[in-house]
Amino acid sequence: MRPFRPEPLTDFSKEENIKAIKDALENAKRNFGKRYPIIINGKEYKTDKVFGSFNPAHKNELVAEFYAAGEKEADIAIESAWKAFEFWRKFPAEERAGFLFKAAEVLRRRRFEITAWMVYEVGKNWVEADADVAEAIDYLDYYAHQMLELAGNRPLAHIYGENNEYFYIPLGVVAVIPPWNFPLAILTGMTVAAVVTGNTVILKPASDSPMMGYLFMDIMREAGLPDGVINFLPGSGGSLGGYLVKHPKIRMIAFTGSKDVGIWIYEEAAKVRPGQKWLKRVIAEMGGKDAIIVDNEIDEKDIPFIANQIIVSAYGYQGQKCSAASRLIIVEDVYDKILSAVVEEAKRIEIGDPAENKFMGPVINESSEKKILNYIEIGKGEGKLVFGGEKMRGGIYDEGYYIQPTIFADVPPNAKIAQEEIFGPVLSVIKAKDFDDALRIANDTDYGLTGSVFTRNREKIYKAKCEFHVGNLYINRKCTGAIVGVHPFGGFNMSGTDAKAGGPDYLLYFLQGKTVSERL
């Protein structure tokens, strides 16, 4: 077995790859509008409620329809998952890992197909969607390798007259509630972490990306995963998701999404309800208000690179990443130079249909668009609008949820747009007196997910390592693009429980330790 290596990204400068993605996009479009079932214990279920998944680039374009699960289907799925748990938990770790390795191979073969569906369903361009698929492959491979390392007895101290063992066992039924912004990668990571450790899963995909959940299920079935190990329940986040969180037979909840929902899940999961025999375990990743600090000790020749990294961090996938830069904190000596370079770089951003691989596409839906535009209006009263600030209109822009990349300068550190998460293409630029002041401003937020520091001063780099209170800190590079097994990902404070996805201890959240001591 080869050691884990991150999956390479697709090179879209090659003609064969351009042809492959265009063919996949055309094929996906030919299959628009089909209706897909709930899947419980390998069986398909239908209900009298149906909801649609629409292309945010062309908001009236129906990608797919799904039968919506309710409490009845959730109860059936939970019972089925507990029955499956009785046999699945006894599968050797090597066999469970084997299903993940097989699924990774299936996903590699179907890579362009899945990428194309993602482009349409959530408005990612080719590069962003392909990276999402590559990350899903990485989770399958990495967690399979990690489980093999955790299998068997752990080393213990020896005492005379006893045989002592310590090993890990699974928890039970896990409710997985993933987000739409990494609709395959995060969904895959949370689900297969539960599965490879011997748990069974109720998977409730995000309402904006159910097709990604269905395709994931199809991949796992093609890999031969036994029925009932994963149960697919598309439906309402509020009602269905809430029912799963409160259900006494749910052992653990794995969630990625907004702070407000994450806090609610954390509170509700802490309540012990009738028939519940455990304290529920929760892992939650809840977003950020991520800052990039630019120090005055930088090389002049590095400014174009720094500006590029800021733009990629702030506007990659329309700023709809929990790791996206939404605050740019610049030491006053270089404030004007950096701000000017960032604005000039923003002017070069191509905005359009992600199916044509434009750098920026639409935001996910009408509700998100309204919320972002409302923050932009607030920002006009809090800072100086130096770029963007409008909904895009005319031609293709009227067909989707397109917002200009927006930059506010001279933003007070305590402004709403500098404190509250804006899941969209809005960057607040803040002036700092010096590096210490920049760190203070960066830390003055409820969140603590990602951050970047640009400086050539080694003492300041060390100071940032010690004092910049984020789960993922990047030095002289962008603050997005964490790679599985390379950059274990998770944040502090209201960014979540810091369960480091793609890290060496992540699977332990899905396991419990058991000690067996035998007198000889």
Task: Tell me what pLDDT residue 238 has.
Answer: 84
Task: Tell me what pLDDT residue 129 has.
Answer: 98
Is 460 contained in some domain? yes
CB 97 within 8 A of CB 89: no
Active site residue 285: yes
Task: Tell me what pLDDT residue 91 has.
Answer: 97
Can you tell me which residue has the tokens 């899941």?
Answer: 423
Options 113, 322, 345, 479, the catalytic residue = 322
Is 514 contained in some domain? yes
Give whole-number Cα distances, 33 to 58, 61, 113, 369, 504, in Å: 14, 9, 16, 24, 41
Is 368 contained in some domain? yes
Angle at alpha carbon of residue 150, lines to 144 and 156, rounded to 5°: 170
Tell whether 279 and 306 lie within a shared domain: no
Is 6 contained in some domain? no
Tell whether 325 and 358 lie within a shared domain: yes
Tell whether 265 and 383 lie within a shared domain: no
Is 438 contained in some domain? yes
Task: Tell me what pLDDT residue 178 has.
Answer: 97
Tell whether 128 and 175 lie within a shared domain: yes
Is 493 contained in some domain? no
Assign residue 212 the CATH number of its domain.
Answer: 3.40.605.10
Task: Tell me what pLDDT residue 503 has.
Answer: 98
> Domain span at residue 272?
15-286+498-519
Active site residue 466: no
CB 435 within 8 A of CB 295: yes
Options 121, 285, 345, 421, the catalytic residue = 285
Tell whether 107 and 213 lie within a shared domain: yes
Tell whether 304 and 179 lie within a shared domain: no
pTM passes above 0.85:
yes
Q: Is 211 exposed, middle or buried (0-12, 13-18, 19+ CB in 10 A)?
A: buried
CB 173 within 8 A of CB 200: yes
Tell whether 131 and 60 lie within a shared domain: yes
Q: Is 227 exposed, middle or buried (0-12, 13-18, 19+ CB in 10 A)?
A: middle
CB 87 within 8 A of CB 96: no
Is 4 contained in some domain? no
Tell whether 201 and 100 lie within a shared domain: yes
Tell whether 248 and 140 lie within a shared domain: yes
Tell whether 261 and 393 lie within a shared domain: no
Is 204 contained in some domain? yes
What sign has the CA pseudo-torsion 29, 359, 406, 390? negative
Tell whether 320 and 261 lie within a shared domain: no
Task: Tell me what pLDDT residue 117 has.
Answer: 98
Tell whether 329 and 195 lie within a shared domain: no
- Tokens found for residue 422: 């804006």
Which parts of the chain register pLDDT below 70?
none
Angle at alpha carbon of residue 71, lines to 69 and 77, rounded to 5°: 70
Domain count, the chain: 2
